[in-house]
Structure 1
Amino acid sequence: MTLDPQPLAGTHIRLLAGQAASGRAVHEVLPARAVGADLFEVAGSPGMVLGCAAGDVLRVTDDGQFEVVERGENLCVQAAGLGQLSLESFAELREAVSHLGGMTEAPPDLRFIVVTVARTVGIPAIEQVMDAWAAGIDEVEWWFGNGDHADASA
């Protein structure tokens, strides 16, 4: 799995995640490595932005819109619940994903969870882990955050 690209040297990119109810743009800031004038290799999978994962090379505009120029070796899985997720459920998912060679991250308030797993693991194996985890939690949903593959949603 390629989760550890070249040292970041403090580079971050700001990607458009959508719009708030007020109509204001919502952005997510991600670690990245510059690989060209407007090209960046994403170093961490996003928790709100759809369409990319760690390892992808993006062309990013000033307003945060982006185009995937080159797909990396990872899939991004995002999960959230209507209520707050627990530390116990996060630990269970982290353990299960580690058996796939993946990485699980979340902000301190656990309002969402991000999983990064190598594409080579295969969608069925990822779906099995995510479905088993979600089955034990009320009102939690998960989805593939980079939709570059067919039939990959929960």
Structure 2
Amino acid sequence: MLTPDTGLTLLRDRLARFGQLWAYVKVGVVNAGFGYAVFSFLIFLGVNLFAAQIVSHLAGMAFNYFMFRRFVFKNSRAAVVEYVATYAVNYVLGLAILAGLSRIIPSPYISGFLTIGIVAAINFVVLKFLVFTPPKPT
């Protein structure tokens, strides 16, 4: 049975989860802008599409770790090895999506932009449940 206290607790939990998702989106937008700017600049310079993607991905990975730790998953245990492993898988997934999209979308700018959105959605779930986990009780 739902009591007023239980209802308030559920509401607080949902708002906290939404707040975390919103913080992830805000940090992600800043990082995506940074990563996309690096990617686009490298494409402009004539760098290979996939080389530009790896450079922007690595730069974004380092930036994201500190931003997520500070603004999104504040009270979580940060597993650095899992974070790096997640981003390695994330990178391969991003390459596969970029390769697929670049076959059907002629613009590398649009393919790169769409890849960011798809991979970011998957990444939130993985980071939340596998990397930035609740601290272990002492």
Instruction: Give the TM-score band, short-chain normalised.
Output: under 0.3
RCO higher in 1 or 2 (8 Å CA, sep ≥ 6)?
2
Q: Judging by fraction of residues, say which structure has more strand.
A: 1
